[in-house]
Copies of this chain bind each other. A is one copy, B any other.
Amino acid sequence: MPISLVDVASLAGVSLATASRVVSGSPYKVSSKTRERVLKAVGELGYTPNALARALVTDSNPIIGVIVGSVTDPYFAEICRGVEDFARPHEFLTIVCNADRNLSIEMAYLQMLREYKSLGIIIAGGMYTNTPETEAIREIVRKATEQGIQIVSVGDRFFEGVPTITADHRCGLYDLTNYLIHLGHKEIAFVEGPPDFTTSTSRKQGYLDAMDDANLEPLTYSGSFDYQDGRSSALRILSDGLPEAIIAFNDDSAVGVLNTLRQAGVKIPQDVSVAGVDDIRYAEVLDLTTVNVPMYQLGAMAAHAIFNWEENPPPKQVILPHRVVPRGTTARRVKLATIVSTVEGYPS
């Protein structure tokens, strides 16, 4: 970038300070005459202010960073869109950073965003609780907030003094499990998320609570985030024998379960009901019963919080409502005996 403000100033025949005043939009203190001269020079030279230098001296940068757990997870894509749609009108650029659910990488991005003096940072997703970096992250987050950067956590994750905007993952699973129970199912299996991951724990707890409240025996299978994880869990379920219903930690793994079961000849929902969580776009496409987590709104609200921090400081915590979305992969439990007994003229 060879062309700087000094070039503009000299071409316009004014001082650097004056040139700066007009391009930086500082409180009017320059005559329209000189302003025009400067603007003309800017145009002729094709000058654009250097964001780096500007951020260095103003200690602020019109960007907001979104640190996501995984770029390839549609869950986060929706959150990003929510953030961006809100940031765009403010003329802020959104930077998305893929931490790959790795706390070291997350730290690096956090540090970067901090050094860049970004207005705000949105940390999206849950976290692994069994790693040593946890404390270091909290430290960086603390420093960043002290520095004046507005941080909000979007997901099942809490930092001291940082507002959290999330859905109630425990309750979401509680409701979904209950929905299946009300459908008449008793043997309801849960394919867990990755171990030692906050969202996993919360969701599993919701399932366990619902089963417990209904005096039903819980049945869990290990699992993780992805389609392939769902597939391998399904294979284990198949070899154990089918329950009446299966809930997976999230939609992606639920789809893995769904496909594997179907390929094994299992009819869904006739033989077994299957449900996921999140309501990613493909859940609708595949007619998968799930729990809608308002990802877009989560992102939009986080951005809203950042842009209205001063006038309207965000509360410690906001819980956005979830909603069980019944679709075609779940059905009322129908025992063979029941069928026969209900068919006219054929008493059991």
Contacts and interface: CB of A to CB of B under 8 A. Distances in A.
Given A72-B77, A77-B71, A95 B93 contact: no
A5 B55 CA distance: 18
A98 B74 contact: no
Contacts of A48: 111, 115
Given A1-B114, A56-B53, A98 B80 contact: yes
A51 B112 contact: yes
Contacts of A63: 112
Nearest to A256: B285
Q: Which 5 A-B pairs have the closest CB atoms?
A: A72-B77, A51-B115, A96-B96, A71-B80, A71-B77
Chain B CB within 10 A, most for which of A71, A97, A115, A227:
A71
A50 interface: yes
A108 interface: yes
Nearest to A49: B115
Contact of A1 (B108, B147, B281): B147
Given A72-B78, A84-B100, A52 B117 contact: yes
Contacts of A109: 93
Contacts of A232: none
A80 B96 CA distance: 11
A309 interface: no
A88 B48 CA distance: 31
Contact of A51 (B72, B88, B95, B116): B116
Interface in A253-279: 255, 259
15 contacts: A1-B114, A1-B147, A48-B111, A50-B56, A51-B112, A52-B56, A52-B117, A71-B77, A72-B74, A84-B98, A84-B100, A95-B95, A95-B96, A227-B285, A282-B285
Contact of A52 (B2, B95, B115, B281): B115
Interface residues of A, number: 44
Contacts of A56: 50, 52-53, 56
B112 A255 contact: no
Given A1-B147, A115-B1, A108 B84 contact: no
Interface string A99-140: 010000100110110111100000000000000000000000
Contacts of A52: 52, 55-56, 115-117
Interface string A74-97: 100110110010001000011111
A259 B143 CA distance: 50
Contacts of A111: 48
A38 to B, nearest CB: 20
A81 B76 CA distance: 14
A78 B77 CA distance: 13
Nearest to A94: B98
A277 B47 CA distance: 42
